Amino acid sequence: MDAKKKKWEGYNRYLIQEASVGDLLEFPRILYSHWAVYIGNEEVVHLAGIDDDGLNGNFNPTHMFTISGKLFKKAVVKRESVWNVVLNSKVAINNKKDISLNPFPPTKIVKMATRMIGEIGYNALWRNCEHFAAFCRYGVAWSKQADAALMLFSIILAIAILAAVYKLSRRR
């Protein structure tokens, strides 16, 4: 067992014992967080890549905003042990969207998640693992990390446009 995994093992075991059916679990990775729906018995349902989405712990910068290194491709919703998903992460129960949205009853959350098992479409900004988890819990596909990425992209684009306009105005 590697040092990072061992570092969080006791904490993660305690947290999973404290998790309730229908909770959203967040697994921080290097540049993003992976999300899953806790369905009990140390199992989750989550949206994952069909091939290599980085869940195996191997960071690949070409996969940063993709599933399987491909944009706008397919992904799979699957049910599996939380321990296959946690890897080297410090897992967190993250139901913070409860502040803005009303969660469904736990049985409905689990039913929604398990009904979606199988291959589905994927898009990092509009249909990612956080969108999936939020949809199962609230009926609303909402990803704060996708919102933040879009905001950052918009700011960079605005700066680039302003720089180009400034450069053009200086030529006159």
Q: How many folded domains does the chain comprise?
A: 1
For residue range 17-38, what is the model confidence (pLDDT) as tens digits? 999 999 999 998 887 889 999 9
Residue 65 CB burial class (10 angstroms; 0-12, 13-18, ≥19): middle
| Domain presence at residue 76 | yes
Whether 70 has a pLDDT exceeding 50, the answer reads no
Catalytic residues: 34, 46, 129
Tokens of 123: 């898009």
| Domain presence at residue 155 | no
| Domain presence at residue 148 | no
| Domain presence at residue 64 | yes
| Domain presence at residue 104 | yes
| Domain presence at residue 10 | yes
Whether 83 has a pLDDT exceeding 60, the answer reads yes
Nearest Cα neighbor of 106 from 143, 144, 142, 138 is 138
Residue 119: its pLDDT value, please?
72
| Domain presence at residue 166 | no
Q: Identify the domain containing residue 86 by its residue range.
A: 3-141
Question: What pTM does this model have?
Answer: 0.72
| Domain presence at residue 160 | no
For residue 10, give the CATH number of its domain: 3.90.1720.10
Q: Grade residue 113 by pLDDT with cuts at 50, 70 and 90.
A: very high
Whether 75 has a pLDDT exceeding 50, the answer reads yes
The percentage of the chain sitting over the pLDDT mark of 90, rounded to a whole number, equals 43
Residue 121: its pLDDT value, please?
62
Q: Grade residue 4 by pLDDT with cuts at 50, 70 and 90.
A: low
